[in-house]
A and B are shown apart, each in its own frame.
Chain A
Amino acid sequence: MVAAGIDIGSTGTKAVLFDGEIRASIVVPTGWDPKAAGLEAFRQALDCAGIAEGDVHSIVGTGYGRVSLPIFDRKVTEITCHARGAHFLYPETRSVIDIGGQDSKVISVDEHGRVAEFAMNDKCAAGTGRFLQVMAGVLDVSLEQLGQLAVGATPAQISSMCAVFAESEVIGLLARGADKGSIAAGIFHSIAGRIQGLAGKVTLSHRVTFSGGVALNRELCSAIGASLGVDMWVPHAPQMVGALGAAIMGFEA
């Protein structure tokens, strides 16, 4: 028995095949066509594992694009999926921080990997991947470079939480000759502050998993860990956690 989990997010679409173990794990860009991206990720995952489509007994969809694919046997929100995926990777975990392209969540998880409660950012983009992208754009660097810039730098003070205001704040800092490294560190600091605010709304344990594509950024991980005062587990492919959770749920169903 093999199950597939497909997580169609705002930037990346992820597919995982699971049969008690992870058989394949694929990321493709979502682009403008979430439906095509979902099918493409699924096909690549099948190829990669050498499994025929007919052998997949359950396909679970998650992420913003989950409404768009007719092949799903079941749809589950990314909140439930991230909790499940994180629990599989780190059975001890009791909290999950997930920062995606459009939103960020802090989820508290019970010993079975079930969601106990969660908090999610409101309308505003502060503390999301989008915020990070806008800021990298202002500094004219890639997301990876943003991380490298921040290493060892003293964070500049960025007080605005709103992406639009923070953008002009950063432009102001640049105009005053602040160096990019401290601005990058300041940006991470600001995101960490926002996550700290969210984490205050649920019961946060010290056994935290950090998931979602933004967790690839090591500097950001340490900024968030430091502001929460916890050590976090960061999976080597944090963006796959939601798809993994979806696949596990399909496998167990």
Chain B
Amino acid sequence: MREICASFDEIAGLRERNAIALKVAKDRGRKVVGTYCLFSPVELIVAAGAIPVSLCGTSATPIPAAEKVLPRSLCPLIKSSYGFALTDTCPFFHFSDLLLAETTCDGKKKMYELLGRMKPLHLMQLPQVQDEAALEYWVLELKRLIRRLEQAFDVKITPEKLAAAVLLLNEERRSLKALQDLLKRKPAPISGMDLLTVLHNRGFTVDKREAIGLIDRLTAELTGLSDNGFSPFTTRTPRILLTGVPVGIGSEKVVRLVEELGGSVVCFESCGAYKKVDPVLPGNDLLRSIAEKYLRVPCSCMSPNTGRLQLLEKLVQEFQADGVIDLTWQGCHTYNVESFTVKRHLQETAQVPFLQIETDYSESDTEQLKVRIEAFLEVIGTRRGGRP
């Protein structure tokens, strides 16, 4: 892939290039807001003229530092996020003028209290149901964020700026969806590892328009390659849908193993991937439309979280998945408990083989995971009438 696809190379270098671009932008007076979660209403940041960056929590490197403060049994994503801040090793954290956080799971919520001592942090109180009353409340939280951004950066968020931001971010979602939808083709034109790399690095872009152009170019190149029959896989390769906790470069162990062992990850129903492409729908009240979009994120911190079940059902069909792997991090109660519900739902509706994997960012269980994943691929193979 890397050799034959020019845009891929460009995207692979984004993180480094953008750290510099970010510094330049800051020197010119731009403000930067760091976000941690899919619930962050990025439109408001863009409308405030600031640069939104996603902060990384997918690397194992800063975890030992974080464990000096946080319990070891906590989810690795939270420890990694906190560790980056503590060790000041993430340029994107370093350049952030403000951190934006939401009360999602308990671990994150309490970690943000500690993080708030290091940098200005705005915490949005996120409701945990997705009904009318919650929406009213969430609209108020968006208004509170608008006031904070306006005060902190001495700007005015006008309806026009907000409308423009919605257009831009919907355009970004459109391009990200088109890229991921390419993997509906059989065989997929790009590996899950490569897709993950693109999605991960894209999160560090400073100029959204430039990034959209780059993704669109990549999609076009891949479409051409696929039309000419190019793919790293065959039509027999087991197609895996990955759901569960957020995953990125540094925490890609399971994706890598699936593909090393002969499968192909064709869809990531996770925060950085398919959950992200849901657009803001047009409505009379723009702020309400934005609030609706973010409140319907089907995250396991919502109770109940039926949206995830429906999304999964749909994605299994659309991507012709042969199996679903539910990736959960050790210490993540919401996703770990929800796995039972997901499994039962998929057994009843999609009748697709299901495997839960609970792990962390370390390599210590690689051999065990290999047995599990390989056996899962064997189950898929025999279901297709292969040799038992």
Contact = CB atoms under 8 A, between A and B. Distances in A.
Interface of A: 64, 76-80, 84, 102-103, 112-118, 120, 122-123, 249, 252-253
A150 to B, nearest CB: 28
Interface in B369-388: 371-372, 374-375, 378-379, 382-383, 387-388
Interface centre among A77, A113, A117 (most CB of B within 10 A): A77
B358 interface: yes
Contacts of B367: 64
A252 B388 CA distance: 9
A80 B382 CA distance: 10
12 contacts: A64-B367, A76-B378, A77-B374, A84-B388, A112-B388, A114-B383, A114-B388, A115-B378, A118-B379, A120-B371, A120-B372, A252-B388
A168 to B, nearest CB: 18
B387 A253 contact: yes
B378 A80 contact: yes
Given A64-B367, A115-B382, A120-B368, A252 B374 contact: no
A249 B368 contact: no
B284 interface: no
B388 A123 contact: no
The 4 closest A-B pairs by CB, nearest first: A79-B375, A77-B375, A114-B388, A80-B378
B41 interface: no
B257 to A, nearest CB: 13
A115 B386 CA distance: 12
A5 B220 CA distance: 48
Contacts of A64: 367, 371
B311 to A, nearest CB: 23
Contact of A79 (B359, B378, B383): B378
A102 B379 CA distance: 22
Contacts of B378: 76-77, 79-80, 115
B293 to A, nearest CB: 35
Contact of B371 (A77, A84, A123): A77
A116 B383 CA distance: 9
A117 B388 contact: no
Nearest to B377: A77
A83 to B, nearest CB: 8
B388 A113 contact: yes
B365 interface: yes
A216 B375 CA distance: 25
B371 A78 contact: yes
A252 B372 CA distance: 24
Nearest to A102: B368
Contact of A123 (B364, B374, B382, B387): B364
A122 B388 contact: no
Contacts of B279: none
B387 A118 contact: no
Interface centre among B365, B368, B375, B382 (most CB of A within 10 A): B375
A117 B354 CA distance: 8
Contacts of A79: 371-372, 375, 378
A23 to B, nearest CB: 21
B107 interface: no
B353 interface: yes
A64 B371 CA distance: 8
A121 B352 CA distance: 22
A249 B365 contact: no
A103 B382 contact: no
B375 A249 contact: no
B368 A123 contact: yes
Contacts of B330: 122
A198 to B, nearest CB: 12
Interface string B344-363: 00000000011000110000
A103 B353 contact: no
Nearest to B339: A201
A89 to B, nearest CB: 15
A97 B75 CA distance: 30
B387 A249 contact: yes
A64 B379 CA distance: 19
B325 to A, nearest CB: 13
Contacts of A112: 388
Given A79-B375, A117-B353, A103 B388 contact: no
Contacts of B375: 77, 79-80, 115, 118
Interface centre among A78, A84, A103, A117 (most CB of B within 10 A): A117
Nearest to A75: B374
A196 B388 CA distance: 27
Contacts of B358: 122
Contacts of A103: 368, 371
Given A77-B371, A117-B353, A120-B372, A249 B388 contact: yes
